């Protein structure tokens, strides 16, 4: 990005309860997880960034570039360590609409498909931006440009509709320096309302995607630019302009160092009622201490949903390998900063779903302890549609919330009870069958085992609880176990 060569200087709402990773092998072990009610406990140390972030309900992502998808060292590290992907350049305006009205998703799809084939979610980047506009857009102005922006948002979001976790709808619209105002650009010249028009267009184009404003040099709470963005988000929330999240790029360097009030910035925005995310993290010099500080600041803010580093290895960075800004060196080795990040993530407390309940010495969880079953790949929860209670109601996934139609208890008979009935794998069901709601009984088709890899298997057929897609209302099924993210579940 042209203006950010040396810049001065991203979750989903965390439930009001908390989540536990399903590291459970039996009722007794499940109990060990659940009886820690009311207590914080240090998470079991996970050995990758994604898994350790997942322990507190967050993600750890990276920018992925098609330029490196043929490099097995790159893909091996990226696949093992990260569970969120942002295409570094491939979903930008010049890549996706090189000629007006002619969309090209070749490279966007390459990154998207790599991510999804490896069980990762995708952040879309970016729909409306003054930079990396194709030539035809650069030459437009006024209503022609405004309409082109709207058409672009609609075209790109339609292609990925239902499959993107969050979009950076508008990128870098504020000016550096002391004004706290908008950056001048051809988009800004179409009228000050261009940003809210972009967000309203985006909401209609894909109601399931979280809609983010993303910028750099917005890390220091006292900076005029930070305050300018803050006022815009505050105004949007007050007026009902749809915005779900704010991305802090967080490119830290000598001119724009990590600020000591970074946590204040994250929490202040979160208090407006939006998720916050660290979306393009890199730190020139790769200070382990600074990386740990950034992670700890995110962990301290409930609505800080995740962290993305802007590349995998130093050699992949837009800053060049000499800047040493990432967590892996150019040979693919873990750097001290990697260890600092992993340790910080693993030190994060996990807290049980019902903080007010006393610890129970029982070997089975209290029947009153409720939790949601949140799918790791989809980030959504098992849900009885419209709170239906009829036998045969087919379960779906939906955005996690706190209503009873997503609340389960785990009975001593290994039953998953909800709405007075039970999660049931239809008698004789095979892979691909949808699970249903049914009167509780003691049959093995209502028994569910929680496995150490996060899968949940049915007692009758040993098939894995699964989702077939990530969007709201996608079916919940049983399927041949493969351990991928669409078959991994957490208690949330
Ligand atoms: O792929 C072409 C290559 O074929 C050509 O020969 C070469 C000649 O210039 O250009 C190559 O494309 C470059 C592309 O990166 C892929 O390497 C572009 O010139 C170059 O401009 C582009 O830079 C990207 C930059 O955004 C553009 O604004 C960086 O990779 C990317 O990391 C950077 O990412 C931005 C975020 O989107 C927004 N926030 C800041 C961040 C860092 O600047």
pLDDT tens digits in sequence order for the chain, 492 residues long? 333 333 322 333 332 332 333 333 333 333 333 323 233 445 468 999 999 999 999 999 999 999 999 999 999 999 999 999 999 999 999 999 999 999 999 999 999 999 999 999 999 999 999 999 999 999 999 999 999 999 999 999 999 999 999 999 999 999 999 999 999 999 999 999 999 999 999 999 999 999 999 999 999 999 999 999 999 999 999 999 999 999 999 999 999 999 999 999 999 999 999 999 999 999 999 999 999 999 999 999 999 999 999 999 999 999 999 999 999 999 999 999 999 999 999 998 763 333 333 323 323 344 557 889 999 999 899 999 999 999 999 999 999 888 899 998 888 788 999 999 999 999 888 889 999 999 999 888 999 988 877 889 999 999 999 999 999 999 999 999 988 889 998 888
Using the mean position of ligand 1's atoms as its centre, give its distance from the Cα of residue 428 in Å. 54
Cα–Cα distances in angstroms (integers) from residue 158 to residues 90, 132, 205, in the given order: 16, 21, 6
Q: Residue 319: which residues within 8 A CB-CB, separation 6 or more?
A: 282, 284, 325
Q: Is 323 in the pocket of ligand 1 (CB under 6 A)?
A: no
Using the mean position of ligand 1's atoms as its centre, give its distance from the Cα of residue 145 in Å. 23
Cα–Cα distances in angstroms (integers) from residue 445 to residues 412, 426, 463, in the given order: 15, 7, 10
Q: Give 24's DSSP letter.
A: -
**Which residue carries 């204040």 as its tokens?**
264
Residue nearest to ligand 1 atom 42, measured at CA: 1
Q: Is 66 in the pocket of ligand 1 (CB under 6 A)?
A: no
Cα–Cα distances in angstroms (integers) from residue 220 to residues 3, 360, 413, in the given order: 18, 45, 53
pLDDT for position 411: 82
Nearest atom, ligand 1, residue 131 CA: 28
Q: Is 131 in the pocket of ligand 1 (CB under 6 A)?
A: yes
Q: Is 468 in the pocket of ligand 1 (CB under 6 A)?
A: no
> Among this protein's residues, is 88 annotated catalytic?
no
Q: Is 89 in the pocket of ligand 1 (CB under 6 A)?
A: yes
Nearest atom, ligand 1, residue 171 CA: 38
Using the mean position of ligand 1's atoms as its centre, give its distance from the Cα of residue 2 in Å. 9
With the most atoms of ligand 1 within 8 angstroms of its CB, the residue from 318, 325, 326 to mutate is 318
Q: Is 4 in the pocket of ligand 1 (CB under 6 A)?
A: yes
Using the mean position of ligand 1's atoms as its centre, give its distance from the Cα of residue 132 in Å. 8
pLDDT for position 44: 67
CB 9 within 8 A of CB 261: no
Residue nearest to ligand 1 atom 21, measured at CA: 1
Residues 81, 90, 172, 417: which is the catalytic one?
Answer: 172
CA 281 distance to own-chain centroid: 15
Helix 288-299 / helix 262-270 crossing angle, nearest 10 deg: 20
Q: Is 132 in the pocket of ligand 1 (CB under 6 A)?
A: yes
> Among this protein's residues, is 280 annotated catalytic?
yes
Q: Is 1 in the pocket of ligand 1 (CB under 6 A)?
A: yes
DSSP SS3 for 90:
coil
Residue 206: closest CA among 478, 471, 2, 483: 471
Q: How far apart are CA 125 and CA 474, in angstroms?
A: 25
Whether the model pTM is above 0.75 = no
Q: How far apart are CA 180 and CA 41, in angstroms?
A: 42
Using the mean position of ligand 1's atoms as its centre, give its distance from the Cα of residue 24 in Å. 44
Angle at CA 109, nearest 5°, toward 105 and 114?
165
Residue nearest to ligand 1 atom 13, measured at CA: 89
Residue 198: closest CA among 112, 93, 121, 273: 93
Q: How far apart are CA 195 and CA 286, in angstroms?
A: 34
Q: Is 280 in the pocket of ligand 1 (CB under 6 A)?
A: yes
CB atoms closer than 10 angstroms to residue 469 = 14
Using the mean position of ligand 1's atoms as its centre, give its distance from the Cα of residue 292 in Å. 28
Using the mean position of ligand 1's atoms as its centre, give its distance from the Cα of residue 290 in Å. 26
């Amino acid at each position: 990005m042209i203006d950010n060569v040396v810049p001065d200087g991203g979750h989903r709402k965390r439930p009001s309860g908390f989540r536990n990773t399903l590291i459970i092998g039996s009722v007794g072990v499940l109990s060990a997880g659940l009886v820690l009610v009311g207590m914080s406990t240090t998470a079991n140390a996970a050995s990758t960034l994604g898994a350790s972030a997942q322990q507190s309900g967050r993600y750890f992502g990276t920018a992925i570039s098609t330029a490196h998808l043929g490099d097995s060292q790159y893909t091996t590290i990226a696949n093992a360590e990260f569970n969120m992907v942002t295409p570094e350049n491939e979903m930008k305006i010049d890549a996706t609409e090189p000629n007006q009205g002619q969309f090209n998703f070749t490279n966007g799809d390459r990154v998207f498909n790599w991510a999804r084939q490896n069980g990762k979610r995708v952040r879309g980047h970016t729909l409306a931006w003054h930079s990396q506009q194709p030539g035809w857009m650069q030459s437009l102005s006024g209503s022609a440009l405004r309409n082109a922006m709207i058409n672009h948002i609609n075209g790109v979001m339609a292609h990925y509709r239902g499959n993107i976790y969050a979009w950076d709808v508008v990128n870098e619209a504020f000016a550096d320096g002391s004004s706290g105002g908008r950056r001048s650009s051809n988009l800004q010249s179409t009228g000050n309302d261009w940003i809210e028009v972009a967000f309203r267009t985006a909401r209609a184009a894909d109601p399931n995607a979280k809609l983010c404003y993303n910028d750099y040099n917005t890390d220091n709470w006292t900076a005029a630019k930070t305050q300018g963005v803050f006022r815009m988000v505050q105004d949007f929330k007050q007026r009902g302009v749809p915005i779900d999240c704010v991305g802090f790029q967080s490119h830290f360097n000598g001119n724009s160092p990590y600020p000591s009030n970074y946590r204040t910035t994250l929490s202040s925005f979160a208090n407006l009622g939006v998720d916050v995310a660290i979306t393009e993290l890199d730190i020139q010099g790769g200070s382990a201490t600074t990386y740990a500080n950034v992670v700890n600041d995110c962990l301290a803010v409930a609505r800080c949903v995740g962290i993305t580093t802007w590349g995998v290895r130093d050699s992949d960075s837009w800053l060049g390998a000499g800047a040493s800004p990432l967590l892996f060196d150019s040979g693919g080795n873990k750097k001290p900063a990697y260890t600092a990040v992993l340790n910080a993530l693993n030190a994060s407390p996990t807290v049980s779903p019902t903080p007010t309940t006393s610890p129970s010495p029982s070997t089975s969880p209290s029947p009153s302890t409720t939790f949601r079953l949140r799918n790791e790949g989809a980030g959504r929860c098992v849900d009885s549609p419209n709170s239906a209670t009829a036998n045969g109601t087919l379960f779906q996934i939906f955005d996690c919330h706190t209503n009873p139609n997503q609340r389960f208890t785990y009975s001593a008979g290994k039953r998953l009870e909800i709405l007075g009935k039970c999660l049931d794998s239809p008698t004789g069901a095979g892979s691909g069958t949808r699970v249903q709601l049914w009167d509780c009984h003691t049959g093995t088709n209502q028994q569910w085992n929680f496995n150490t890899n996060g899968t949940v298997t049915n007692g009758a057929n040993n098939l894995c609880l699964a989702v077939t897609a990530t969007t709201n209302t996608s079916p919940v099924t049983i399927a041949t176990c493969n351990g991928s993210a669409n078959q991994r579940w957490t208690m949330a």
